[in-house]
Structure 1
Amino acid sequence: MSADSLATPLGGSLNWIAVWRRNYLAWKKAALASLLGHLAEPLIYLFGLGAGLGVMVGHVDGVSYTAFLAAGMVATSAMTAATFETIYAAFGRMEGQGTWEAMLYTQLRLGDIVLGEMAWAATKAALAGVGIATVAAVLGYTQWLSLIYVLPVVALTGLAFASLGMVVTALAPSYDYFIFYQTLVITPILFLSGAVFPVDQLPFVFQTVARFLPLAHAIELIRPIMLGHPVVEVCFHVSALSFYIVIPFFVSTALLRRRLLR
């Protein structure tokens, strides 16, 4: 592994596809189990909270609570799938399996690997998110046509959380540290972003915090699409998600370069 492979951000504009393809070929051997794993938790939330709280809550913003929750779970499944792919699978390929080291002996550069890992995590996020949206469509909580418009937003959400996850991967000394990220960051994001209940029902301080959370921006795009409502401030929400993609990408690449040069 040469210093140039770490120093040069990207070896080529499409080199990341080789990393994506490698991960896809490894994943497809256990694709069904992987998909079920990513769908399980959001579906438990959807049916558990939807059936339980839905009876007590009734309607939220003019729709049934289950329909309101389903849109939140689409975004949540994308967040969860992308996060777990980067903080566990990507970390394993970097630290334990030596996959990254082998890649860096080729024409690939560190930036290619990071971008490829992010793209693969976004792919899994898109599969998980569309899976939940499909269940919602089957149950009549959204229109089938909405899945076409939801897919790009889900992929963008996956990229945002994959980029954030790569920063955590770059900083974590071992797998044990990921539990702190899950408990102290991902779980609060879930409950503060409007996935389970409306943000405007939160105290003002938490409403302010929610405006800066990537999941909140994803939900503000996905929920109106799935419920057939007008989507407002599209450029603002897309720009916010893009910010969470671009800035953490460069931060994680710099941190990983420093880590691998030790």
Structure 2
Amino acid sequence: MTTDPRFTWLFWTVWRRNLLVYRRIWTVNFLPPMLEPVFYLLAFGLGFSGLVREVHWNGQTLSYTEFFAPSMLAATVMWQAFLETSYASFVRMFYQKTYDALLATPLTVEEIIIAEIVWGATRAVIAAVLMLVVIALLGYVPSLHALAILPIAFLGGLAFGAMGMATTSVTSSIDMFNLPIFLVITPMFLFSGTFFPLTGLPAWAVGLAQGLPLYHLAELTRSACLGLLDASSLWHMLALAACAALFIPLSLAGMRRRLVK
């Protein structure tokens, strides 16, 4: 077992291993990201559009579906990246013993964990592209600036992938993931400006929501879809980068304590 904290480009071999596994069941992996936006748009877009005629966001007047559809891209990035580095990584580590096999090679813990986080971000980008195609075909992506969602999704995927891996590093059993999902991820999904603008919340709740990484990701995906990316978008990207910079070292330290005995 390699125990020194070395990091090299060997981490791509772990990323490639995950890609090969993903390709074997690609039909199962492709369907949910393609069908999910259709279900959400039908349930919320068509359902609420008759009740909410207009939504005011950043000086723009949008229909509810125009406001809502891009935020589902951000939510998809969050769910895909977090679930990949929490549940899926825990299965590889604890049940399949994949990490034990990898650590028997010249790979280090750092290379394995970074590869897992980058793979989580890759999964997020794939899902975001599939969802972007669907909502574009439905007419809710009027700007070519929406292509900026690819690097945005990757950055968001790194942030949420690192959060998931940090959670894995301190989770004793797979059932315990219900706690961060229920206490952190689900509230973020509901109160980060995804389903409604933050202007309808009390001031203290607005401040809290603006500190959540999904808020910044949703603002970026909405701005990209509508062709409204500007200098203020840099602030949201820096917030996501700061989130990744915080949780990646926590992931590495936590997983090193867990894997190196």
TM-score bin (small chain):
over 0.9
CA gap of 1:206–1:9, structure 2 versus 1, over 3 A, is farther
Instruction: Report the residue type matching 2:258 in the other structure.
Output: R
- How much has 1:230 moved relative to structure 2? 4.3
Deviates more, 1:63-72 or 1:233-242: 233-242
Kept after mapping to 2: 8 A contact 1:7/1:257:
no
Kept after mapping to 1: 8 A contact 2:146/2:227:
no
TM-score by length of 2: 0.93
1:206 aligns with 205
TM-score by length of 1: 0.93
SS in 1 for 2:169: helix
2:114 aligns with 115
Identity among equivalent pairs (%): 37
Paired with 2:219 and 2:252, the residues of 1 have a C-alpha distance of 29
Instruction: Report the residue type matching 1:102 in the other structure.
Output: A
Q: 1:163-182 alignment to 2 at 5 Å?
A: 163-182=162-181
Paired with 2:117 and 2:10, the residues of 1 have a C-alpha distance of 13
- How much has 1:114 moved relative to structure 2? 0.9
User: Does residue 1:151 correspond to 2:146, yes or no?
Assistant: no
Instruction: Report the residue type matching 2:255 in the other structure.
Output: L
Q: Structure 1, residues 89-123: CA drift from partner, whole Å, max 9, x if none?
A: 11111111111111111121111111111111111
Paired with 2:33 and 2:98, the residues of 1 have a C-alpha distance of 24
1:46 aligns with 41
- How much has 1:28 moved relative to structure 2? 0.5
2:26 aligns with 31
Paired with 2:35 and 2:83, the residues of 1 have a C-alpha distance of 14
SS in 1 for 2:106: coil
Instruction: Report the residue type matching 1:125 in the other structure.
Output: A
Paired with 1:251 and 1:9, the residues of 2 have a C-alpha distance of 16
Kept after mapping to 2: 8 A contact 1:42/1:77:
no
- How much has 1:194 moved relative to structure 2? 0.5
- How much has 1:133 moved relative to structure 2? 1.5
1:186 aligns with 185
**Aligned equivalent of 1:58, options 27, 32, 53:** 53
Kept after mapping to 2: 8 A contact 1:9/1:111:
yes
Which ranges of structure 1 fall in alignment gaps of 5 or more residues? none
1:71 aligns with 70
Aligned length: 257
For the aligned residues, what is the CA RMSD?
1.5
Deviates more, 1:157-166 or 1:56-65: 56-65
